[in-house]
Amino acid sequence: MAFRLPPLNTLRIFDAAARHRSFKLAAEELHLTASAVSHGIQTLESWLGAELFRRNVRGLALTPEGESYAPRIGHALNMLAEATERLPGRRATGSLSVSIAPAFARRWLLPRLSRFTEQFPDTHIAIDTSMQVASLDDFDVAIRASPTKGSGNKWVRLVQEELVPVCSPSLKSELGPLTKVELLARAPLIRVTGASTDWEQWLDATATEPPPNLAGGLRVDAITLAADAAMHGLGIALGRRPLVDADLESGRLVCAIDQAAPSGLWYWMVTKDASFDRPEIKLFRNWIVSELQARH
């Protein structure tokens, strides 16, 4: 059966413009110029013999014909994309957009990402670390820290976060061989204001007597700053593994006390059900799991 279809690229342009109600935003999504989007819409309207958009004082609006056409085209494009992603044996040759917390991106992913790109040069990664709530309509994969998995989508548990006291090698050498109680009593403790009970949680989990200087020491507003401060010899911070793994491996940080306690959080990889088996996502998920397992 022969199908008489308009050019596929004009349908993609129409779908983006209809969702955004904007040629400019459609152009940004598709990495085109606004004039290319406008030309694509004109080509499609000429092919169909119907007007799809009208400009008014509020901007761009769909005509009744456009309103009827848009959801059907969106559904058809989604079906084509899903069929392509589910094709058995398809080789990973595309791109992958990842929404990820800044600390995990900076402390864990970036120090290791070259190993992924060397293994899979045909898969291109785009990383977004904005703190806004991410939608999987905008990203292929999200990596999040949470006590439990959320509802909907596919949640794969990656690793449990652990708290471990860390400091600079020079501070550890300066303090010398001490018991953990003596060490915590003599060294400044670095605290994160947004995680103010971390030290109490670690002390309780490891059955360690609280030091007299527990309330003192440097205070910072981010866990990445706490690790940086520890590197500069400003005291002992509670590092969060796996975030400080690369720093421990390189020797920038050392374990002040070799006792870890669970933070109560797990790291999860979240994807849509329909894209869970997409080759690029499978490669990335398997690679991260392998890297995290190698740390033990």
Query: What's the confidence (pLDDT) of residue 276?
Result: 84
Count Cβ atoms within 10 A of the Cβ of residue 287 and give its class: 0-12 exposed, 13-18 middle, 19 or more buried: middle
- Statement: 94-296 belongs to CATH 3.40.190.290: yes
Q: What is the pLDDT of residue 138?
A: 77
Write down the mean pLDDT value for the chain: 87
The residue among 90, 109, 92, 111 whose CA lies nearest residue 100 is 109
Give the pLDDT band (50/70/90) at residue 181.
confident
Return the percent helix, strand and coil in the chain, to nearest 5. Answer: 45, 20, 35
The tens digit of pLDDT for each residue in 59-105 reads 789 999 999 999 999 999 888 877 776 666 555 557 788 999 888 99
- Is 13 strand, coil or helix? helix
Distance of CA 277 to the CA centre of its chain: 18
For domain 8-85, give its CATH number from 1.10.3720.10, 1.10.10.10, 3.40.190.10, 3.40.50.1000. Answer: 1.10.10.10
Indicate the angle between helix axes 23-30 and 8-20, nearest 10 degrees: 120
Single-letter residue type at 34: A
Give the 3-state DSSP-derived string for 16-76, with helices as H, strands as E and coil as C.
HHHHHCCHHHHHHHHCCCHHHHHHHHHHHHHHHCCCCEEEECCEEEECHHHHHHHHHHHHH
Encoded tokens for 192: 């994160």
- Residue 150 is predicted with a pLDDT of 75
**What confidence score (pLDDT) does residue 2 get?**
59
| Residue labelled with tokens 């080789």 | 91
* Prediction pTM value: 0.66
Where are the domains positioned within the chain?
Answer: 8-85, 94-296
- The pLDDT of 216-230, averaged and rounded, is 90
Q: Once rounded to an integer, what is the mean pLDDT over residues 256-268?
A: 92
Condensed to tens digits (0 to 9), the pLDDT of residues 111-154 reads 899 999 988 888 889 998 876 655 677 788 889 888 888 777 78
Please tell me the predicted confidence (pLDDT) of residue 134. 58
Share of the chain above pLDDT 90, in %: 46
CB neighbour class for 57 (10 Å; exposed up to 12, middle 13-18, buried from 19): exposed
Most distant CA atoms of the chain, gap in Å: 84
User: Residue 30's pLDDT is what?
Assistant: 83
